[in-house]
Structure 1
Amino acid sequence: MMKTDGLFRFPAATRHDAGVVAWMDAHPGELGDLARHWFDVMRSCDDDVRELLHDGHPTACAGDVAFGYVNAFTAHVNVGFFKGAELPDPAGLLQGAGKSMRHVKLRPGEAIDENALRALIAAAWTDMDSRR
């Protein structure tokens, strides 16, 4: 990983990473289904989406620039964004207080504004695609 321009760059990211597939296989049930679904939405942003495991969780990249990730915990899934603090979030889904990163916390059985989350994912893709 390189972070020379304020971006997380992963030259080793590939179109389909075996580590990501193994991570998904290791997370069955509702939490795994949530993570898989939203990572698939990230994958569908463009033909140039690349992926890898970073810090142990699936990470989606615009080429080599990370734009989003998913991670499963005991009772929730995070859908996160590397420059989330800069994304438009009219629905108020984003959580976190870090300098750059933000995430949306999803729990099985709780309603989520799917259109708003899809819009965040698309905005994160577009933002990182333009920065590379």
Structure 2
Amino acid sequence: MDDELEGWLAGVDPATADLARRTCALVTDVLPDPVVTVDTDLVGFGTAPGYKGLYFTVAAYRAHVTLGIARGAALPDPAGLMEGKGKVHRHVKLRSTADLQRPELRALMESAVHAG
């Protein structure tokens, strides 16, 4: 995945690319040995190829990284980290490595894996 990930991050602002790498590392810590799909817009992490096995997505933008949480709309989010109005999915905007270190984020991600 490293070569694919680096190809995906080519042309992304270095600070945002670093945050995206760290976000992917957190995802693989919470969801060990995921099936990883690198697309043009995002990286998907799941337990099986395709949409049905999807747990998380990571997308890099100019000023932030978005961590998508599949089926996030059904999860408790007492810290109010998730954004979005979709019926199924939600996302968390990450702007710094400090955002990745929030215990509430890890708890949210772990609940997504256990609910999956």
Change (3 A) 1:36 1:101: same
Q: How does 1:1-132 map to 2 (within 5 A)?
A: 16=1, 18-54=3-39, 56-64=41-49, 65-108=53-96, 112=99, 114-128=102-116
Deviation at residue 28 of structure 1 after TM alignment: 5.0
Equivalent pair of 2:72/2:89 in contact (CA under 8 Å): yes
Structure 1, 87-96 or 60-69: larger mean CA deviation: 60-69
Q: TM-score if structure 2 supplies the norm length?
A: 0.80
Distance 1:102 1:62, change over 3 A: same
AA in 1 matched with 2:103: N
Number of aligned residues: 112
Deviation at 1:126, TM superposition (A): 2.1
Q: CA deviation at 1:62?
A: 2.1
More helix by share: 2
Deviations 1:9-55 (A, max 9, x none): xxxxxxx4753342145535221111111111111224441101246
RMSD: 2.3
CA contact (8 A) 2:65 2:95 kept: yes
Cα 1:123–1:26, aligned 2, differ >3 Å: closer, same or farther? Answer: farther
Structure 1: any 5+ residue segments left out of the alignment? Answer: 1-15
Could you tell me how far apart the structure 2 residues matched to 1:73 and 1:47 are?
25
Q: Could you tell me which amino acid in structure 2 is paired with residue 84 of structure 1?
A: G
Q: Which runs of 5+ in 2 are unaligned?
A: none
The TM-score with structure 1 as length reference comes to 0.71
**Whole-Å Cα distance in 1 between the matches of residues 6 and 112 of structure 2?**
22
Using the alignment, how far apart are the partners of 1:75 and 1:46 within structure 2? 26
